[in-house]
Amino acid sequence: MEPQPILIWELVLRGFALGCLAAVGAGLWRSGRPAIRVSGLLMVLSTMAYVINSSPLTRDAASFLNIPIHFFALGGAGFFWLFIVTLFEDRPISWLTLTPAGILTGLGLVGWITRQQMSSPLWIAHNLIEASFAFHALFVIASSWRGDLVETRRRLRGPVLAVVTVYVIALSGFEIGEGLGLRQPWFDIAGASALAFMCGLGALAFVQAQPALFGAAASAPRDGLDAGDRLLLSKLEALMGAGEAWRREGLTIGALASDTGAPEHKLRRLINDHLGFRNFAAFVNARRIDAAKARLADPAKAREPVSAIAFDLGFGSLGPFNRAFTEATGQTPTEWRRQSLAETANL
């Protein structure tokens, strides 16, 4: 039996983690962006559930709340992934972005209802899928770093990436080790320490919602630009308009800054502050989607493959084009084409 002081410290650490998560939830709720509010609330609730459910000490104390707590804990990594893509990629909440949490919850419910042991293949698969979604969230934070046009959010990426990496490695190791039957007496206190550490840093980052971090950038009037910004904006509009720079596959903000002859940070600020875009991919894709709409609605191009349109407009593959188009219009390219051509035929 574990010494009483260890049990007390575990309770203190888990209580501290729960308090920090409540502060994170309050901060995210004040963010103003519906997607961040919803994804943040789901992430906080699922993490709270995991804090309670991951230790026999707190799980037994939860008593009649065990069922909802266990349910929310099952999809925790999926809700964490959802929060990361809504915060750092500005993606909307949809059936697609809710799929990871749904997969984990469904798989976990099967294991729970059938009373599978933690060492069963089903729970090992659940833990490995959790780890894969968590590592993909880390990839999202790192891969879209340079294209982030919000300076406050860019500065947040480094600390979040470092902390979450340590947390994911630690917690994945504990869960997978437990699933393989390698559980050690110190797992609970180590897990509580990792949770308290991550939740404490999360509270420092999100307890005060900053409009620049969470809110949509508002377009500023052109007369608010100085002469240098006016010249840079004119160059940018020429490149993205007549020059159709957006057609280049793999276009980066660094390449565009080189074309305009401006420092990358200055171009980033201009696009964010005066054109209202929060990330470079959204800025480029706005042009591509407008061009795609015109192509798809043209009866003369009705037989042109959607994939050919995607490649011609600068997308490296069909998947990113379909996702960007659906997020922008609420319809797939094929659905948009069918509706547009039908409306044209009825005129």
3-state secondary structure 152-166: HHHHHHHHHHHHHHH
Q: Which helix (H) or strand (E) holds 44?
A: helix 34-53
pLDDT of residue 217: 47
What are the Cα distances from residue 24, in Å, to 48, 79, 214, 257, 262?
11, 15, 13, 36, 38
What are the Cα distances from residue 222, in Å, to 216, 227, 229, 239, 270?
18, 11, 9, 18, 11
Tokens of 162: 């470092």
Q: Please compute Rg for the chain using Cα positions.
A: 24
pTM: 0.81
Separation between Cα atoms, residue 47 and residue 65, nearest integer Å: 15
279: helix, coil or strand?
strand
Please state the three-class secondary structure of 176-231 as a single string: HHHHCCCCCCCHHHHHHHHHHHHHHHHHHHHCCCCHHHHCCCCCCCHHHCCHHHHH
pLDDT of residue 128: 84
pLDDT of residue 67: 82
Read off the DSSP letter of residue 120.
S
- Give the position of tokens 């059936």: 95
Could you give phi then psi for residue 148, rounded to 5 degrees? Answer: -75, 125
Contacts of residue 81, defined as CB under 8 A and 6 or more positions apart, other chains included, come to 100, 101, 133, 134, 136, 137
Tokens of 253: 């903000």
Beta bridge partners of 148: 279
> Is the separation of the CB atoms in 141 and 88 below 8 Å?
yes
Q: Which helix (H) or strand (E) holds 85?
A: helix 76-88
In tens digits, the chain (347 residues) has pLDDT values of: 445 677 788 888 988 999 999 998 888 887 767 888 899 999 999 999 988 887 877 777 777 777 888 888 899 889 999 999 998 888 888 888 999 999 999 999 998 888 887 668 888 888 888 888 888 988 988 888 888 998 888 888 888 887 777 777 666 666 666 666 666 666 677 778 888 888 888 888 777 656 666 654 444 444 567 788 889 999 999 999 989 999 998 899 999 999 999 999 899 989 988 888 989 999 999 999 999 999 999 888 888 999 999 999 999 889 889 988 998 888 899 999 999 888 887 76
Among candidates 87, 199, 227, which has minimal Cα distance to 148? Answer: 87
Structural domains present in the chain? 4-214 (1.20.1070), 222-345 (1.10.10.60)
Give helix 66-74 / helix 34-53 axis angle, nearest 10°. 120
The beta-carbon contacts of 160-167 under 8 Å, at least 24 apart in sequence, are 160/205, 163/197, 163/198, 163/201, 163/202, 164/134, 164/137, 164/138, 164/198, 165/138, 166/194, 167/194, 167/197, 167/198
